[in-house]
């Protein structure tokens, strides 16, 4: 099944942004995506850890997992434009092999560590508890698109004040905010989290939004070959990027579609000019003022 949600998001810059949801296996469908048509790939594939996605896609391990990963990467990489880039979520168990493979095809820009802010509990006593995911960030060429400004983190008032001495005065960076750096400390989505939907490994929007805003130009197209609940699609809907995503579980596709619709409705509400106050109200207010 293949759904294209193509209602205009708003007048102006976002008109025509679409979300192309494909309920099928990315590896089977990749041939239908034109080469050099994608600005950014955000890939959050099965990690090979045995999670239940309503299918057996996370049951591969060892060499079989790596061989499958290399296969889909070989299909995905040619889809990128010369200015394009790719983020891949993975774990420390496989990141060494995956990064070596990717470095043979692309330019490595960063390894980002996602600190999931897992609370301290009992856990293992034979090694250090693992609380992070590895994210590889790669680009096709040195001319890759990257815009830091939309993802800068504002300085808090205290820091601004502390840095307001003469030597810092007029420092543009103090107003613009700072580079998020390569360790991203963002809580995983626990069951009660407001953002959480019915998907076992849903990623926080904050993380994916940072990737989309920094690495895909406005109006550009993002590909997510393992879409899950559609977090990347939501980031695109919120920020005027086009989206193509694959997911083999039809229930997750339905969740993604409803999340996109919600994000679009919220965006439209936000962009709607404030309603003029009704005549009746104005009259009443005026009457109250006159009486005062």
* Best CA proximity match to 53, nearest among 25, 86, 32: 25
One residue of 199, 221, 238, 239 binding ligand SAM per CB under 6 A = 199
Element (H, E) at 267: helix 250-271
Q: Is 44 in the site for ligand SAM (CB under 6 A)?
A: yes
Q: Is 25 in the site for ligand SAM (CB under 6 A)?
A: yes
Q: Is 94 in the site for ligand SAM (CB under 6 A)?
A: no
- Tell me the C-alpha distance between 45 and 201, whole Å: 10
Q: Which residues, in sequence order, are CB contacts of 206 under 8 Å at separation 6+?
A: 186
Q: Taking CB under 6 A as the criterion, which residues in 166-185 touch ligand SAM?
A: none
Q: Is 216 in the site for ligand SAM (CB under 6 A)?
A: no
Q: Which residue has the tokens 């980002």?
A: 112
Q: Is 226 in the site for ligand SAM (CB under 6 A)?
A: yes
CB of 21 to ligand SAM, least distance (A): 11
Q: Which residue has the tokens 């990257």?
A: 146
Contacts made by residues 28-32, CB under 8 angstroms, sequence distance 24+:
29/246, 30/72, 30/75, 30/76, 30/79, 30/225, 31/75
CB of 180 to ligand SAM, least distance (A): 19
- Tell me the C-alpha distance between 70 and 97, whole Å: 10
Binding mask 239-268 for ligand SAM (x = CB under 6 A): -------xxxx--x----------------
Which one, 197 or 268, has the nearer CB to ligand SAM? Answer: 197
One residue of 53, 87, 137, 184 binding ligand SAM per CB under 6 A = 53
CB of 110 to ligand SAM, least distance (A): 19
Binding mask 104-133 for ligand SAM (x = CB under 6 A): ------------------------------
Question: First-to-last CA distance in the chain?
Answer: 65
Length of the chain: 292
Binding site for ligand SAM (CB under 6 A): 25-27, 44-46, 53, 55, 57, 199, 201-203, 226, 228-229, 231, 246-249, 252
């Amino acid at each position: 099944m293949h759904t294209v949600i193509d209602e205009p998001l708003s007048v102006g810059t976002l008109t025509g942004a679409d979300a192309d949801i494909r309920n099928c296996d990315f590896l089977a469908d990749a041939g239908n995506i034109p080469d050099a048509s994608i600005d950014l790939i955000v890939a959050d594939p099965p990690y090979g850890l045995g999670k239940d996605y309503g299918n057996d896609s996370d049951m591969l391990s060892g060499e079989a997992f790596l061989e499958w990963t290399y296969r889909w990467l070989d299909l995905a990489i040619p889809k990128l434009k010369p200015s394009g880039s790719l983020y891949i979520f993975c774990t420390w168990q496989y990141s060494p092999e995956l990064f070596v493979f990717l470095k043979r095809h692309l330019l490595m820009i960063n390894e980002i560590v996602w600190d999931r802010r897992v609370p301290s509990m009992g856990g293992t006593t034979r090694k250090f508890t693992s609380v992070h995911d590895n994210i590889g960030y790669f680009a096709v060429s040195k001319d890759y698109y990257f815009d830091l400004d939309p993802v800068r983190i504002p300085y808090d008032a205290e820091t601004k004040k502390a840095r307001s001495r003469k030597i810092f005065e007029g420092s543009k960076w103090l107003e613009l905010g700072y580079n998020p750096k390569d360790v991203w400390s963002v809580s995983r989505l626990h069951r009660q989290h407001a953002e959480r939907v019915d998907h076992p490994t849903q990623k926080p929007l904050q993380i994916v939004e940072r990737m989309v805003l920094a690495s895909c130009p406005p109006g550009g197209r993002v590909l997510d070959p393992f879409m899950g609940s559609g977090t990347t699609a939501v980031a695109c809907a919120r920020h005027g990027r086009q989206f193509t995503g694959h997911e083999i579980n039809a229930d997750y596709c339905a969740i993604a579609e409803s999340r996109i619709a919600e994000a679009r409705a919220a965006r439209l509400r936000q962009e709607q000019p404030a309603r003029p106050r009704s005549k009746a109200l104005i009259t009443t207010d005026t009457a109250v003022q006159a009486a005062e």
